């Protein structure tokens, strides 16, 4: 049984469709990411599910209940914004107590529950601070604690890590994933960061111009994108012409690069060499062909080609995905 179900959900502003007949089913406990460039309609979709907005067409079900016309406060949803949206006039604890208070939970029980939630996001001891006295990462944890403390049916995260620096973001990604798994709460995350989407989600939904492009597991979408947009949006895409006239996709990890004349690859010249730590990335220009420049990503083992080197480039036919 699916916990969130969208059936032909549309949101139109005049002639512009921010969401265009979107269908989606998210299973109980599943972590699904809505991924798309800015303006793709992903935040609109989230606000429709949260009840901050009404769709112009379609139905929305949460836990099997049709909530299309229910106001936000009746949906029992935990919502986390990129801007944290903490109440600045309340302490950390008061923020976390807020959803309990409106549910009529008070006193020691509420306090225990709130402190537990804060412990869960590793903020114990900071409950009497004001949001303005916390770092960005800490504030986001408060927002997270506030959105899970009342045991919501589903958790909606709108670019929750977008305002944080890279290192902190990666740390929090791990924590978020662990937290989600331990709570088992159905979670929908909105992001434009494809790495974040690939690393966190059970499935991703790629959105462009309000339309669903693909819904699939991360590896599936990465290696077998449903179309050229998904191929290009999820990482680096090498496109090659196929014999039947179609276009094939080869991901950089599947491209082999070696010295010329060893295993009969196509001759190419290294345009740029980029070190990425464990990996090294080559931007290559194939010689004598009309194919687009090729990017290859190889494990870095202490020695690499330099820009200007002549090399041989090859890939397995099995690694080519004909883009539909």
Partner 1 sequence: MNRSTGFAFIAPLLVLMVVAFNLPIIYMLGLAFWDKGRGFTLEHYEGLLEAPVYLRVLGNTLRISLIATIANVAIGYPLAHWMRGLGRRARLIAIALVVLPFWVSILVRTYAWIVVLGNGGLVNRSLQWLGLTDAPVQFLYNELGVTIGMANVLLPFLVLPLFAAMIRIDDRLLQAAASLGAPPRTIFWKVYFPLTLPALAAGTLLVFILCLGFYVTPAVLGGGRVPMISNLLDTLINQIPRWEQASAISTILLIVALVIFAGYRRLDRKASA
Site string for partner 1, 152-191 (x = CB under 8 A): ----x-----------------------------------
For residue 142, the 8-state DSSP code is H
Residue 30 or residue 159: which is nearer to partner 1 going by CB? Answer: 159
46 to 75, contacts with partner 1 by CB under 8 A?
47, 50-52, 71-75
Number of residues that bind partner 1 (CB under 8 A): 27
User: Interface with partner 1 includes 102 (CB under 8 A)?
Assistant: yes
Smallest separation (angstroms) from partner 1 to the CB of 80: 9
> From CA 126, how far away is CA 130, in angstroms rounded?
9
User: Interface with partner 1 includes 300 (CB under 8 A)?
Assistant: no
Contact pick of 11, 20, 81, 215 for partner 1 (by CB under 8 A): 81
Write the burial class of residue 253 (CB in 10 Å: 0-12 exposed, 13-18 middle, 19+ buried): middle
User: Interface with partner 1 includes 238 (CB under 8 A)?
Assistant: no
Instruction: Tell me which residue has tokens 């992001």.
Output: 191
Pure H helices in the chain: 42-50, 92-102, 107-120, 136-148, 166-183, 194-200, 218-223, 228-233
Residue 294: CB partners within 8 Å, gap ≥ 6? 238, 250, 255, 268, 283, 284, 285, 286, 313
User: Interface with partner 1 includes 42 (CB under 8 A)?
Assistant: no
* Nearest alpha carbon to residue 99 among 47, 157, 158, 148: 148
User: Interface with partner 1 includes 79 (CB under 8 A)?
Assistant: yes
User: Interface with partner 1 includes 147 (CB under 8 A)?
Assistant: yes
User: Interface with partner 1 includes 77 (CB under 8 A)?
Assistant: yes
Smallest separation (angstroms) from partner 1 to the CB of 5: 19
Residue 47 or residue 213: which is nearer to partner 1 going by CB? Answer: 47
Residue 20: CB partners within 8 Å, gap ≥ 6? 10, 41, 209, 210, 211
> From CA 44, how far away is CA 64, in angstroms rounded?
22
Smallest separation (angstroms) from partner 1 to the CB of 83: 6
Residues that bind partner 1 (CB under 8 A): 47, 50-52, 71-79, 81, 83, 85, 87-89, 98-99, 102-103, 146-147, 150, 156
């Amino acid at each position: 049984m699916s916990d969130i179900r969208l059936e032909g959900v549309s949101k139109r502003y005049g002639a512009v469709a921010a969401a265009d007949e979107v269908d989606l089913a998210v299973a109980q406990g599943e972590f699904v990411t809505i991924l798309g460039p800015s303006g793709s309609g992903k935040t609109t979709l989230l606000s429709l599910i949260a009840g901050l907005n009404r769709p112009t067409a379609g139905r929305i079900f949460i836990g099997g209940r049709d909530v299309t016309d229910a106001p936000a406060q009746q949906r029992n949803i935990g919502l986390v914004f990129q801007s944290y949206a903490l109440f600045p006039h309340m302490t950390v604890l008061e923020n976390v107590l807020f959803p309990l208070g409106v549910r009529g939970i008070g006193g020691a029980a509420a306090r225990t529950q709130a402190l537990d939630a804060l412990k869960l996001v590793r903020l114990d001891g900071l409950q009497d601070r004001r949001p303005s006295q916390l770092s960005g990462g800490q504030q986001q944890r408060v927002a997270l604690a506030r959105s899970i403390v009342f045991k919501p049916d589903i958790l909606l995260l709108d670019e929750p890590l977008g305002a944080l620096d890279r290192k902190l973001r990666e740390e929090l990604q791990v924590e978020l994933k662990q937290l989600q798994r331990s709570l088992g709460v159905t979670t929908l995350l909105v992001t434009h960061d494809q790495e974040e989407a690939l690393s966190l989600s059970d499935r991703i939904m790629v959105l462009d111009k309000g339309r669903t492009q693909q819904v699939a597991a991360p590896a599936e979408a990465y290696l077998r994108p449903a179309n050229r947009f998904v191929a290009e949006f999820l990482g680096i895409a090498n496109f090659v012409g196929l014999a039947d006239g179609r276009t094939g996709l080869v991901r950089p990890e599947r491209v082999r690069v070696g010295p010329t004349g060893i295993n009969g690859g196509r001759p190419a010249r290294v345009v740029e060499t980029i070190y990425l730590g464990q990996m090294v990335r080559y931007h290559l220009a194939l010689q004598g062909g009309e194919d687009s420049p090729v990017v290859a990503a190889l494990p870095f083992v202490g020695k690499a080609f330099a820009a200007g080197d002549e090399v041989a480039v090859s890939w397995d036919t099995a690694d080519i995905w004909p883009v539909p």
